[in-house]
Structure 1
Amino acid sequence: MKAFVLGLGFVLLGVQGTYAQQKGGSAAPAKTALVEQQIRKLSQDKWRWMAERKADTLAVLFDDKAMFVHMGGSWGKKQELDVIRSGSIHYKQADVEETSVQIIDNTAILLSKIRLLAVLGGNEVTNPFIVTEVYVREKGKWKLGSLSFTKLLTP
């Protein structure tokens, strides 16, 4: 009889532990989904600010150590803001076709397939890209740490 009661106790503890894991595990996906939504919104805002050439607004978003990789080279925050201010690259319109977000601790990696209409040297050009955006959360705020364009070979 003692063995039966002891065995029943272990079964109940196991069921309680399983329930606790399921209950605790459900909050994490909800939090992750909320963060993914925030990152997607921040990316959309960034594209709009770039199209509107809001360099001062972008300066707040871009981390001081941010890196930008383009077809014609790579550079840091100051150079990217100078490019936007001068209009030497005008990110006129980014049509985002699909996105995915991965969260790793305080880092968010957003991949977007876009068709970018830009003005370069006075000429309008449209190119398909996969864009990688890396965001890092510091003091509760997301900062852009890297923006890289990879041109797609297919239209």
Structure 2
Amino acid sequence: MFRPTSILSVFAMVVLLVLSGQTAVAQQRLPEGQIPDLGRPTESGDEIPLFDYDQYFPGSWPFEWRTPESPLGTGGMIEGRETFAAGDDGRNYVSSIEAVGPDGPFTVAATIVYLKSQQSFTRLENDSRGFDLLKAGRIGVTSVVSTPSIMSRHHR
């Protein structure tokens, strides 16, 4: 037969295990959006705060991309990790991607310039698959100017 004290002991241990698991989950810091919660849906007249690159990006981010067939490679699933850090000169940022796609493993090294006061960024990528990409755009502005990527092939 079960004794009341052993049942209480088991119950107490289960409660402690559950609570310790919740504490571990609470300690994991997930990225947060930078637009304040207004308690209502956003409206076109809401002020958009300046994007804080240093708060949002640094660190390592896993990703999965489902890509179409294109001049950049075979379509399909790409899985990998992108790591963001401050650049050595303190004026820009760097990013490195290690990934595996339908055509095999590849790497990308990027230099990123983010001008907070102008809400603009430029990203130059050097891809091990044999091409460079230049991407430029604006972040957090109501009139978005879309700049197409510029691609160049490496000469071999």
> TM-score with structure 2 length normalisation?
0.32
TM-score (norm 1): 0.32
Higher share in helix: 1
**Structure ranking higher on relative contact order (CA contacts 8 Å, 6+ apart):** 1
**As a proportion of its length, which structure holds more strand?**
1
